């Protein structure tokens, strides 16, 4: 693993230092189960066109590479096709750049059909750009004009055509998938539950928190990108109301632009969410810079903490903080809603406060109705339980009497389902 760092210019505002970037790249590599035998930072004053890093350094690393014999060398930077090939030749080893590394991760983690298609699309586009540029380069090397049509050129033309065809096909399939997904989302919208989406930097603890809140056994590993496609589960809040929690892909700093579409496809669920829960790793050195990254990407997607849609900030991993810092943060939980909610997804501390906040944010004024159904209408009774909050139930000889609190947006459905059997009480209840 080689992290290429520009020798810092004075006044540069990037707060992440090279060491932390190297650490992130190593963690990304671990996400695809590669063990890193050597990780180093190579400072450069300016990029060298042929190899990115200076020729002296390329030579110097040759010995180390020959000695360690890595399966692959990852250069944590964007390499041009020419640079990649020149480095492979010089080091006699396979070289991947950062884009290729992230593509590997996306490829391994993509779960839904759309996720897989988007990743393949990004992959092919990446490949095609390599072909185009290396062809130009070859032509220049040969000093020819290109019209002689050597075998290499023909092969590249064929590859380009095949890739182009595949890209067109995938784009078509993506359209279809998007339409169907829209239908699925429509179906979900009819469920009277608010949706809260967990977003945040990779490794912040979203999946762990998701598990903690839903007590579901989904993937939570000590690797980045443990989830690429959103996962959804129902959570029961203290009020007894339910919401749907959505676990999403982790954000990554400096995401290569070619991968933005593949990444965004995984975030579409966030756009549809009623509440955004931004999970932060409070114990991370770069927690503020991470927050800035997440806020920036969300803003590009049109999601802002502007009061239009509830936005909760969660400071996770407080178990790793010093006792007094942790205590101060937990105390602030009571100052909600404005303060970030301090939690430990691992130990469960602060989770109650988070659930309360979710309850309040998704809670609305419910109206209470009386519902009288014959005993035979078991399905109707079950429906009322599923779509409303049953406050009281009396089994009488004449039938089942239910007192149900109903969210305003569901009243129409209840009315349609039960007609005159539904009688409104002059009662309004605040949920939570």
Q: Which residues bind ligand GDP (CB under 6 A)?
A: 200, 202-208, 220-222, 226-227, 250, 316-317, 319-320, 344-346
Task: Give the x-and-dash track for 187-206 against Mg ion (CB under 5 A).
Answer: -------------------x
Question: Cβ closer to ligand GDP: 22 or 226?
Answer: 226
For residues 149-171, one letter each, b for 16 or more C-beta atoms within 10 angstroms of the residue's C-beta and e for the rest, the string is eeeebeebeeeeeebeeebeebe
Position 248 contacts Mg ion (CB under 5 A): no
From residue 265, alpha-carbon distances to 167, 181, 327 in Å are 17, 11, 39
**Cβ(324)–Cβ(332) below 8 Å:** no
Q: Order the strands of the 400-406 sheet from edge to edge.
A: 389-395, 400-406, 365-373, 422-430
* DSSP run (H or E) holding 405: strand 400-406
Question: Cβ closer to ligand GDP: 29 or 202?
Answer: 202
What helix, strand, coil percent values describe the chain, rounded to 5?
50, 20, 30
Whole-angstrom Cα distance, residue 282 to residue 204? 8
Which one of Mg ion, ligand GDP, none interacts with residue 222, CB within 5 to 8 A by kind?
ligand GDP
Question: Cβ closer to Mg ion: 83 or 227?
Answer: 227
The single residue among 29, 76, 214, 227 that binds Mg ion, judged by CB under 5 A, is: 227
Least distance (Å) between residue 221 CB and Mg ion: 8
**Cβ(76)–Cβ(2) below 8 Å:** yes
Which one of ligand GDP, Mg ion, none interacts with residue 317, CB within 5 to 8 A by kind?
ligand GDP
**Cβ(296)–Cβ(282) below 8 Å:** no
Which one of Mg ion, ligand GDP, none interacts with residue 425, CB within 5 to 8 A by kind?
none
Question: Cβ closer to ligand GDP: 222 or 412?
Answer: 222
Least distance (Å) between residue 27 CB and Mg ion: 13
Which one of Mg ion, ligand GDP, none interacts with residue 320, CB within 5 to 8 A by kind?
ligand GDP
Least distance (Å) between residue 287 CB and ligand GDP: 13
Q: H helices within 301-377, ranges in order? A: 323-332, 351-362
Number of residues that bind Mg ion (CB under 5 A): 4
Which one of Mg ion, ligand GDP, none interacts with residue 178, CB within 5 to 8 A by kind?
none
* Closest chain position to ligand GDP (CB): 205
**Cβ(382)–Cβ(400) below 8 Å:** no
The single residue among 224, 226, 265, 357 that binds Mg ion, judged by CB under 5 A, is: 226
Least distance (Å) between residue 109 CB and ligand GDP: 11
Position 207 contacts Mg ion (CB under 5 A): yes
DSSP, collapsed to helix, strand or coil, labels residue 327 as helix
Question: Cβ closer to Mg ion: 79 or 273?
Answer: 273
Least distance (Å) between residue 103 CB and ligand GDP: 18
Whole-angstrom Cα distance, residue 267 to residue 301? 9
Least distance (Å) between residue 30 CB and Mg ion: 14
Question: Cβ closer to ligand GDP: 208 or 432?
Answer: 208
Which one of Mg ion, ligand GDP, none interacts with residue 208, CB within 5 to 8 A by kind?
ligand GDP
DSSP, collapsed to helix, strand or coil, labels residue 267 as coil
Least distance (Å) between residue 51 CB and ligand GDP: 34
Question: Cβ closer to ligand GDP: 51 or 202?
Answer: 202
For residues 329-367, one letter each, b for 16 or more C-beta atoms within 10 angstroms of the residue's C-beta and e for the rest, the string is bbebbeeeeebbbbbbbeeebbbebbbbbbbbbbbeebb
Least distance (Å) between residue 223 CB and ligand GDP: 7
Q: Is the peptide bond before 337 cis (omega within 30 degrees of 0)?
A: yes
Counting Cβ atoms within 10 Å, is residue 83 exposed (0-12), middle (13-18) or buried (19+)? buried
Which one of Mg ion, ligand GDP, none interacts with residue 325, CB within 5 to 8 A by kind?
none
Window 309 to 328, contacts with Mg ion (CB under 5 A): none
For 83, phi then psi, to 5°, come to: -60, -40
Interface residue list for Mg ion (CB under 5 A) = 206-207, 226-227
């Amino acid at each position: 693993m080689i992290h290429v760092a520009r020798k810092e210019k004075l006044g540069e505002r990037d707060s992440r230092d090279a060491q932390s970037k190297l650490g992130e790249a190593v963690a990304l590599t671990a996400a695809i189960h590669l063990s890193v035998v050597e990780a180093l930072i190579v400072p450069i004053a300016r990029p060298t066109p042929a190899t990115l890093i200076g020729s002296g350094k390329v030579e110097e690393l040759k010995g180390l590479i020959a000695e360690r014999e890595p399966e692959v060398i990852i250069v944590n930077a964007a390499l041009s096709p020419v640079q990649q090939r020149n480095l492979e030749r010089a080091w006699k080893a396979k070289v991947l750049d950062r884009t290729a590394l992230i593509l590997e991760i996306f490829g391994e983690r993509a779960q839904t059909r759309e996720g897989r298609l988007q990743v393949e699309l990004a992959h092919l586009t990446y490949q095609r750009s390599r072909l185009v540029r290396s062809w130009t380069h070859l032509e220049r090397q040969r000093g020819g004009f290109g019209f002689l049509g050597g075998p290499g050129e023909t092969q590249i033309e064929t590859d380009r055509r095949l890739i182009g065809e595949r890209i067109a096909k995938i784009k078509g399939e993506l359209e279809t998938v998007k339409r169907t997904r829209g239908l699925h989302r429509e179906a979900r919208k009819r469920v009277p539950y608010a949706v809260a989406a967990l977003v945040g930097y990779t490794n912040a603890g979203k999946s762990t928190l998701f598990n903690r809140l839903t007590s579901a056994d989904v993937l939570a590993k000590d690797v980045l990108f443990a989830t690429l496609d959103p996962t959804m589960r129902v959570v029961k809040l203290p009020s007894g109301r339910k919401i749907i929690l959505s676990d999403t892909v982790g954000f990554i700093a400096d995401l290569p632009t070619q991968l933005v579409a593949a990444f965004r496809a995984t975030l579409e669920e966030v756009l549809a969410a009623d509440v955004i829960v931004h999970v932060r790793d409070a114990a991370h050195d770069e927690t503020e810079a991470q927050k800035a990254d997440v806020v920036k990407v969300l803003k590009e997607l049109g999601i802002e903490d502007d009061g239009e849609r509830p936005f909760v900030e969660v400071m996770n991993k407080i178990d790793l903080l010093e006792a007094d810092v942790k205590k101060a943060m937990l105390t602030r939980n009571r100052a909600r809603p404005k303060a970030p909610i301090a939690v430990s997804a691992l130990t469960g501390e602060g989770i109650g406060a988070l659930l309360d906040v979710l309850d309040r944010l998704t809670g609305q004024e419910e109206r209470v109705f009386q519902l009288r159904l014959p005993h035979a209408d078991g399905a109707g009774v079950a429906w009322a339980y599923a779509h409303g909050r049953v406050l009281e139930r009396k089994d009488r000889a004449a039938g089942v009497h239910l007192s149900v609190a109903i969210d305003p947006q569901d009243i129409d459905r209840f009315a349609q389902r039960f007609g005159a059997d539904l009688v409104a009480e002059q009662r309004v209840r605040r949920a939570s």
